[in-house]
């Protein structure tokens, strides 16, 4: 079967981007992706746009983004809550893998600051099971993840200071990433003393509201080799859907959908020791507890031992299991529809040895893994990438 490779990447600055329209923000990612690949708009035969929407000025971004960016190909908007970007990547990947397109583009875009914060918070909360909660709409997403944090802390004797270790790491790498929303390091004192959002999760345990865009261009293997000397291949993708009804969850210390999605990838690649098979991991750290759970759901750490990786600094760029060395959702930012595509951009940079100084990982194995969750485990996408060699 023909392989599919990433041949071009682009990324906007993440943050509060009131200086641009939604379409202009998308162009900040699309233009460098085209330039990186040496391709033009007419070479793109299909494109997908990951976007959750509701709060944005454009409800049909695949149409308006494509028109603004000069894309003439067929298009599709994808939605999988916070995993919308990975869903867009899947659709573009499948288009090339099936032979329906030779070159396709996945774009992720979100402009969240178009709406006031209370509206955004409610709309994100509605990404749970609204019917189940309709008599008294209550849980915000910090509330959802606070349930996981309290259970994890109870079962495994973790502390709020342990959660802060993930946040401190995120802000360290955000300070080294020119595209990150937050580019300032924080201390343990600042984190532990920040105000509570939903106990035990504090301000610095939580990812921000973010505007941003990212784009990747995919090509079939034979074409990819003609376009670039540094193709990054998508080797496998696993995806799973979990219940949105929290009363049906059997475990509040991990996400069953993440585990199933990861198992699909490991089975496809026939990996006996998946934790030791990748140079770096990009995981969905919408809250500090989510990063710890991801370590365990992906098999990087055993159940209840994920917090030990943080205590031992093993997930820094020079540790045994580098995780989110771009600042992650926590510090780089979480523009919902763009997050999954942004992860793909980051691992491509890393596998090409193009990351900024102080956060480039030793990629001697030539492999990376991304993990993107929608909601509180409603959707899960896990994707394996490898270098051309």
Which residues are the active-site residues?
82, 334
User: What is the C-alpha to C-alpha distance for residues 18 and 37, in angstroms, rounded to an integer?
Assistant: 29
175: three-class secondary structure by DSSP: coil
Closest CA to 324 of 295, 365, 357, 367: 295
Residue with tokens 């093993």: 314
How far from each other are the two terminal CA atoms of the chain, in whole angstroms? 18
Crossing angle of helices 339-351 and 84-97, rounded to 10°? 60
Backbone angles phi, psi at 22, to 5 degrees: -60, -45
H or E element, residue 325: none
User: What is the C-alpha to C-alpha distance for residues 56 and 35, in angstroms, rounded to an integer?
Assistant: 27
Crossing angle of helices 22-37 and 61-69, rounded to 10°? 50
Dihedral, 100, 369, 251, 134 alpha carbons, nearest 10? -50
The answer to whether 231 touches 6, Cβ cutoff 8 Å, is yes
What is the number of residues in the chain? 389
Neighbouring residues of 282: CB distance < 8 A, sequence distance ≥ 6: 323, 324, 326, 328, 343, 346, 347, 368, 369, 370, 371
């Amino acid at each position: 079967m023909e392989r599919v490779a990433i041949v071009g990447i682009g990324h906007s600055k993440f943050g509060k981007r009131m200086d641009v329209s939604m379409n202009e923000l998308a162009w900040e990612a699309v233009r460098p992706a085209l330039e990186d690949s040496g391709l033009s708009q007419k070479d793109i035969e299909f494109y997908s746009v990951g976007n959750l929407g509701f709060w944005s000025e454009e409800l049909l971004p695949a149409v308006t983004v494509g028109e603004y960016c000069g894309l003439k190909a067929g298009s599709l908007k994808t939605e999988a809550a916070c995993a919308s970007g990975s869903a867009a990547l899947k659709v573009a990947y499948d288009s090339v893998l099936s032979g329906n397109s030779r070159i396709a583009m996945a774009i992720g875009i979100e402009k969240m600051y178009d709406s006031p914060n209370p509206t955004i918070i409610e709309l994100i909360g509605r990404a749970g099971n609204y019917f189940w909660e309709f008599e008294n709409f209550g849980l915000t997403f910090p509330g959802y993840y606070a349930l996981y944090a309290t259970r994890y802390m109870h079962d495994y004797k973790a502390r709020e200071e342990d959660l802060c270790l993930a946040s401190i790491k995120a802000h360290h790498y955000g300070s080294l990433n020119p595209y990150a929303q937050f580019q300032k390091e924080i201390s343990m004192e600042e984190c532990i003393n920040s105000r509570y959002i939903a106990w035990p999760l504090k301000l610095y345990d939580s990812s921000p509201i973010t505007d941003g865009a990212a784009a990747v261009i995919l090509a079939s293997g034979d074409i990819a080799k003609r376009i670039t000397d540094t193709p990054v291949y998508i080797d496998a993708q696993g995806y799973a859907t979990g219940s949105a009804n929290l009363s049906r969850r059997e475990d509040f210390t991990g996400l069953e959908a993440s585990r199933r999605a990861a198992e699909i990838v490991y089975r496809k690649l026939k990996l006996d020791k998946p934790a030791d098979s990748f140079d770096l991991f990009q995981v969905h750290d919408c809250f500090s507890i989510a990063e710890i759970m991801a370590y365990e759901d992906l098999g990087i750490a055993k159940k209840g031992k994920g917090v030990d990786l943080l205590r031992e600094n093993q997930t820094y760029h020079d540790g045994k299991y580098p995780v989110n060395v771009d600042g992650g959702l926590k510090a780089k930012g979480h523009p919902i529809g763009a997050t999954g595509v942004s992860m793909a951009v980051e691992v491509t940079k890393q596998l090409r040895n193009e990351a900024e100084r102080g956060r480039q990982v030793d990629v001697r194995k030539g492999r990376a893994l991304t993990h993107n969750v929608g909601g509180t485990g409603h959707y899960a996408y896990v994707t394996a990438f490898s270098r051309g060699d």
